[in-house]
């Protein structure tokens, strides 16, 4: 692969040039979404695209809507986090393209996983808050579920709130139900892939140190695609775009997927064979020195045995 050509191509996607009127070109679904997944995007044939000033889903925010102003200030964050994940992947391609050994230490891939998932979580959070601001008659129970809150009475009889964790995929399913009357089929391919992506994210967030794992470039790409499809698939079903720029983001993913090169990151000691004793760092109090002595303690034990 010509790495300079790759850099030029990915940078042109990450930083698209505006047209003569100063606007970024309109986004369209990538061919892969038709050929591989058979999704339908007839709604995007409309001359007025979602996000344009004349589209029926483009609404006016009056003055004084502070709750919406706050959301608007953060509205681009999901896209920026997805882009940050792509930039990390781009850096990994550049760093690894001329490596003869296609295995290396943990460097890029877990960071990509955590950054990309944060983009998805932020999308769910932003969309849920926008729903609560703009839609009439959302049940109270739905609102506090989406906001991860719980109300209770303290010992003085005062109503208070406290955080209550709700899994992001559960919140996403509830959001889809009350925002679009869309019921998630949990056996559907896009949802199953999202759940697998969540398992990967959970592994690196709450690392099970008793289960060392390597992660390959294909696993990272599949992870990112699963998240993007988690937004694109229901967009196709509903014939409306759940997140502006999602097709632009998928184009970036498709370009990276086309230019992937085999590589695997793993913990440094993962493939070591522990057939002999070795040294490790442990500075706790009250260590079992018979099982895990330091060099001085071992020497003293040997001297004691020799004298006896």
SS3 content of the chain, % helix, strand, coil (to 5): 50, 5, 40
Domain presence at residue 302: no
Is the pLDDT confidence value at 199 over 90? yes
Q: What is the mean pLDDT of residues 127-140?
A: 97
pLDDT greater than 90 at residue 150: no
The residue-averaged pLDDT of 5-9 equals: 95
| pLDDT(175) > 80 | yes
Q: What is the mean pLDDT of residues 79-83?
A: 98
Report the sign of the C-alpha dihedral through residues 179, 185, 186, 192, in that order: negative
Domain assignment of residue 135, given as a range: 3-275
**Does residue 197 fall inside a structural domain?**
yes
Number of domains in the chain: 1
DSSP per residue, 107-162 = SSHHHHHHHHHHHHHHHHHHHHHHHHHHSTT--HHHHHHHTTEEEEE-TTS-EEEE
- Residue pair 89/252 in contact (Cβ under 8 Å)? The answer is no
Alpha-carbon dihedral sign for residues 253, 254, 257, 259: negative
Give the pLDDT confidence score for residue 308 in this predicted structure: 72
Q: How confident is the model at residue 161 (pLDDT cuts 50, 70, 90)?
A: confident
Max avg pLDDT among 52-56, 157-161, 204-208, 243-247: 243-247
Question: What is this structure's pTM?
Answer: 0.92
Whether residue 203 is contained in a domain is answered as: yes
In percent, how much of the chain has pLDDT > 70? 100
Burial level of 237, CB count in 10 A (0-12/13-18/19+)? middle
Residue 82 pLDDT grade (very low, low, confident, very high; cuts 50, 70, 90): very high
> Would 294 be classed as within a structural domain?
no
Helix (H, G, I), strand (E, B) or coil at 266: strand
The average pLDDT across 9-23 equals: 86
- State yes or no: pLDDT of 304 exceeds 90: no
Is the pLDDT at 160 greater than 90, yes or no? no
């Amino acid at each position: 692969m010509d790495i300079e050509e790759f850099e030029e191509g990915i940078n042109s996607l990450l930083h698209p040039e505006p047209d003569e009127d100063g606007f970024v070109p309109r986004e369209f679904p990538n061919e892969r979404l038709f050929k591989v997944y058979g999704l339908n995007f007839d709604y995007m044939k409309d001359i007025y695209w979602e996000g344009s000033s004349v589209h029926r889903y483009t609404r006016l925010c009056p003055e004084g809507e502070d709750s919406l102003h706050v959301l608007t200030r953060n509205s681009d964050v999901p896209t920026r986090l997805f882009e940050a994940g792509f930039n990390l992947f781009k850096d990994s391609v550049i760093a690894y393209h001329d490596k003869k050994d296609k295995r290396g230490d943990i460097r890029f891939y877990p960071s990509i996983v955590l950054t990309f998932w944060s983009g998805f979580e932020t999308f769910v959070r932003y969309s849920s808050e926008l729903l609560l601001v703009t839609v009439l008659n959302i049940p109270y129970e739905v609102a506090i579920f989406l906001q991860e809150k719980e109300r209770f009475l303290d010992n003085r009889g005062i109503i208070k709130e406290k955080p209550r964790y709700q899994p992001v995929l559960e919140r996403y399913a509830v959001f889809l139900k009350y925002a679009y009357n869309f019921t998630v089929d949990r056996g559907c391919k896009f949802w199953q892939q999202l759940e697998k992506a969540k398992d990967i994210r959970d592994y690196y967030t709450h690392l099970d140190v008793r289960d060392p794992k390597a992660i390959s470039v294909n696993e990272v790409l599949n992870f990112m695609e699963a998240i993007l499809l988690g937004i694109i698939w229901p967009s196709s079903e509903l014939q409306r775009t759940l997140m502006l720029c999602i097709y632009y983001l998928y184009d970036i993913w498709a370009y990276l997927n086309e230019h992937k090169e085999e590589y695997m990151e793993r913990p440094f000691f993962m493939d070591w064979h522990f057939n002999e004793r070795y040294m490790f760092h442990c500075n706790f109090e009250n260590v079992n020195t018979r099982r895990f002595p330091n060099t001085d303690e071992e020497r003293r034990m040997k001297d004691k045995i020799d004298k006896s």
